[in-house]
Chains A and B, each alone.
Chain A
Amino acid sequence: MAVNRLPRPRSLAEMRASWRLSTGAVVMGAIACLVAGWLITKAAGDFGLFVTVTINGLTLAALFFVVASGFTLIFGLMRTINMAHGSLYLLGGYIAFELQASWFADEPEGLDISIGQSAGDTEYGLLGWVVPLLIAALAMGLLGILIHQTLLRWNQGQELRQALITIAIVIILADQMLAHFGGIARDIKTPTSWPGSVEIPLASGGIGFIRIVVLGVALLVGASLWAMIKKTRFGLITRAGVDDRDMVSALGINIPLVFAGAFFIGAFLAGLGGVLGGTMLSLQPGEDTRLLLTSLVVVIIGGMGSLGGAAVGALALGLVQAYAGAFLRFGDTDLTNYAILLTFGLVVAVLAVRPHGLFGRPA
């Protein structure tokens, strides 16, 4: 959401910072070359595997983008860190799971539901996935508005307090979800009409079709958000509100309504992400904090408030995770279990050079 600004003369601090940037950039460039070289060697070794892993990384990045874009939208506009973003993700997923199991399961005759919902042989039509998806995302959007209006609207500007309030919500929601949905992992089912696995040319092994769907949804989300921000009046007001909230208010525009709308969109995206992730990965306690941390990492890398940054951050995170999981081996040494650690190393590396993320701006 970069806004056009008149260039202004650079201060001494900025000039010094940019000089620091260039040494940092040199170091980063060197690391990037090493990484590229290592990937090329691995690709040359087994190209099919490389393609499979890359596509898996891209689709994982797509999921991360959907979730993180909502997070960064809320922050960019309202300076609110919504720590409950991951909880909305998980709750949205659970709601979709429940809806699917209770409304749409077409069971072959004679199936006795013994313990809870039996996922055994049920079949699902396309609606059985799409309708729960939309309802769950909408529900999360509305919940987001509720949270914003009751708990966050009146302390706008007190960022720390808002962060603490949303942390309290995380604690409560996590416990309640555990109580109501249990601890066992849940899996949202794809429509039976979809192929389970698709063959991609050049790849060894198949790719889950759902991952392609997720990729498509992410592209759609990205395009829609970009269009909304650049082309619509709402987006225009949003951008103006980011720059100067008081002036926008003085111009008679209903800023609280804009904020509510933005929070709705952010929470909607979290819920949407939850359904996608619940289908592609799984739903279980712990996913809420995992996805919150993921969003955090993506947004730290990409820069808070920047949609393009969220895309770049998501790509970086998804690819690093995928490549590290497969290729972090040097001869006989297997370091693949350090994949998660590497992603955090990435965060530190980016921050050391650009304290506000790649495309972020100081507050």
Chain B
Amino acid sequence: MTSVRTGRLSPAAWAGVSLTLIVLLLAPVIFSDFFYGVLLTRALWLGLVAMSVIFLASYGGMVSLAQVGLFGVAGFTMANLVAADGGLPAEIDPWLAVIAGLVAAVVVGLIFGAIAARSEGIYFLMITLAFGVMVFYFFGQVTQLSGHGGVNNIEVPSIIGDRVTDPAPLYYICLGVSAIAFLGVRYLARTPFGLSLQGIRDDPTRMRALGYHVTLHRMVAFGFAALIAAAAGILSVWYNRRIGPGSVNLGEVIDVLVIAVIGGLYRLQGAWVGAVAFVLLDNYSRSWTPDIGTVLGPDRFNTLLGLIFLAIVLVSPGGLVGLWERARDWLRAQFGRQAARDGPGGPPRAGPGGEEGDPGPVAAADRPTA
């Protein structure tokens, strides 16, 4: 059973965190419009969905593939309620529609959670996959709400303005929401609910014996993850100005899973690391993939993505963040005998953007052992 460790960052970690923050805050100045307005913004909301997956995986011990579906429920609800081409004829205030979208996704999330929470491990994975696909078919076939063509030309709040001429407002909103979500989850992990959730992750039988309502905890965690995914859904609709079944299809579900795993399934910040890596790969691989016969080439960027994903799963189950931590530990071992100094508790875990208090890898068959 893991315990909460006090948050103490090493100076190296502080440097890393602050530099990352500075770069992110000054992105509109440092980078081109396309890079921060299209690539980084997309990476931010994709990372947010991925974080909802990672939250459930690392704190709840459940790998859910339904997050993209919940992301879609929020997005479609909002899209239908504001002025747009397609969907319902309702035209309400965009901010009210946002609230409606969040509420709808959380409600659906709680329902899914209630059904799925009684399953564990691989069953849970399969059931949530079925849920995610169900959302895709639902919106694909109910033409009053979307249909195959989706909902286009969606009205966005005036604060966002025109994404093409000035991408900064949307970028900062995505950055802000991501930061709030990240800090919110970190805070949640220390609350009694968060602690009991982690306990349930580690040993549900014992927790049940102690009188905790395991299913209810899982259900609520699912609802909370739904809220995060819903926020990402809203942001994605503002970014795309459209939403359709293609936004929540099986390909998207797998992409989000790939992002979470590449980043690091047990570190919250891995969500954004994975998302940035994915977006950069997706964008640049279309022009830069080397040609190897008919097997590889610019059209075959999916093969490249699959190979990278496979490599990461085989080599470093902790994803890129896990790779970083191993490299850092190895470097540390080279530079000095910190391990001997710090004693059997292990060195304080730290990394760029990271902080102690993250649940470390737990010794169960599935957890990545660093």
**Interface pair B366/A160, CB less than 8 Å apart:** yes
Q: CB of B130 within 8 A of chain A?
A: yes
Q: CB of A356 within 8 A of chain B?
A: yes
| Given A165-B314, A172-B306: A344 and B365 interface contact (C-beta under 8 Å) | no
User: Which residue of chain B has the shortest Cβ distance to A20 in the bound complex?
Assistant: B118
**Interface residues as binary, A252-277 with B (CB distance below 8 Å gives 1, 0 otherwise):** 00000000000000000000000000
- A320: min CB distance to chain B, Å: 14
**Interface pair A159/B122, CB less than 8 Å apart:** yes
A160 contact from B63, B133, B137, Cβ within 8 A: B63
Chain A residues with CB under 8 A of B313: 161, 164-165, 168
- A292: min CB distance to chain B, Å: 9
Q: CB of A300 within 8 A of chain B?
A: yes
Q: CB of A2 within 8 A of chain B?
A: no
Q: CB of A352 within 8 A of chain B?
A: yes
Among residues 130 to 185 in chain A, which have CB atoms less than 8 Å away from a CB atom of chain B?
151, 157-161, 163-165, 167-172, 174-176, 179-180
How far is A59 from B365 in the complex, measured between Cα atoms in Å?
A: 41
- A75: min CB distance to chain B, Å: 8
**Interface pair B134/A167, CB less than 8 Å apart:** no
**Interface pair B125/A160, CB less than 8 Å apart:** yes
**Interface pair A175/B366, CB less than 8 Å apart:** no
Among residues 320 to 363 in chain A, which have CB atoms less than 8 Å away from a CB atom of chain B?
337-338, 340-341, 344-345, 347-348, 351-352, 355-356, 362-363
How far is A61 from B237 in the complex, measured between Cα atoms in Å?
A: 39
Q: CB of A54 within 8 A of chain B?
A: no
Chain A residues with CB under 8 A of B310: 165, 168-169, 172
Q: CB of B294 within 8 A of chain A?
A: yes
Q: CB of B46 within 8 A of chain A?
A: no
**Interface residues as binary, B128-144 with A (CB distance below 8 Å gives 1, 0 otherwise):** 01110110011001100
- B366: min CB distance to chain A, Å: 5
A175 contact from B119, B123, B254, B306, Cβ within 8 A: B306
Chain A residues with CB under 8 A of B370: none
| Given A159-B122, A171-B306, A341-B134: A352 and B317 interface contact (C-beta under 8 Å) | no
B123 contact from A304, A345, A352, Cβ within 8 A: A304
User: Which residue of chain A has the shortest Cβ distance to B143 in the bound complex?
Assistant: A337
Q: CB of B299 within 8 A of chain A?
A: yes
Among residues 31 to 84 in chain A, which have CB atoms less than 8 Å away from a CB atom of chain B?
75, 79, 81
- B364: min CB distance to chain A, Å: 9
**Interface pair A176/B122, CB less than 8 Å apart:** no
Q: CB of B156 within 8 A of chain A?
A: no
**Interface pair B125/A81, CB less than 8 Å apart:** yes
**Interface pair B294/A180, CB less than 8 Å apart:** yes
Chain A residues with CB under 8 A of B137: 340-341, 344
B302 contact from A171, A304, A348, A355, Cβ within 8 A: A171
Q: CB of B120 within 8 A of chain A?
A: yes
How far is A127 from B151 in the complex, measured between Cα atoms in Å?
A: 51
Count of A-B contacts judged by CB separation below 8 Å:
119
Q: CB of A296 within 8 A of chain B?
A: yes
Q: CB of B305 within 8 A of chain A?
A: yes
Q: CB of B12 within 8 A of chain A?
A: no
Q: CB of B303 within 8 A of chain A?
A: yes
User: Which residue of chain B has the shortest Cβ distance to A337 in the bound complex?
Assistant: B141
Q: CB of B127 within 8 A of chain A?
A: yes
**Interface pair B130/A300, CB less than 8 Å apart:** yes
How far is A356 from B126 in the complex, measured between Cα atoms in Å?
A: 11
**Interface residues as binary, A285-311 with B (CB distance below 8 Å gives 1, 0 otherwise):** 000010001001101100010000000
**Interface pair B125/A175, CB less than 8 Å apart:** no
Among residues 44 to 70 in chain B, which have CB atoms less than 8 Å away from a CB atom of chain A?
63
Interface centre among B121, B300, B313, B314 (most CB of A within 10 A): B313
How far is A209 from B294 in the complex, measured between Cα atoms in Å?
A: 38
Q: CB of B21 within 8 A of chain A?
A: no
How far is A352 from B117 in the complex, measured between Cα atoms in Å?
A: 10
Chain A residues with CB under 8 A of B116: 351
| Given A81-B122, A168-B310, A341-B134: A157 and B141 interface contact (C-beta under 8 Å) | no
Among residues 186 to 204 in chain A, which have CB atoms less than 8 Å away from a CB atom of chain B?
none
Q: CB of B30 within 8 A of chain A?
A: no
**Interface pair B141/A159, CB less than 8 Å apart:** no
8 additional contacts, CB 8 Å, given A293-B129, A348-B131? A161-B313, A164-B309, A165-B314, A170-B306, A171-B258, A175-B306, A338-B142, A341-B137
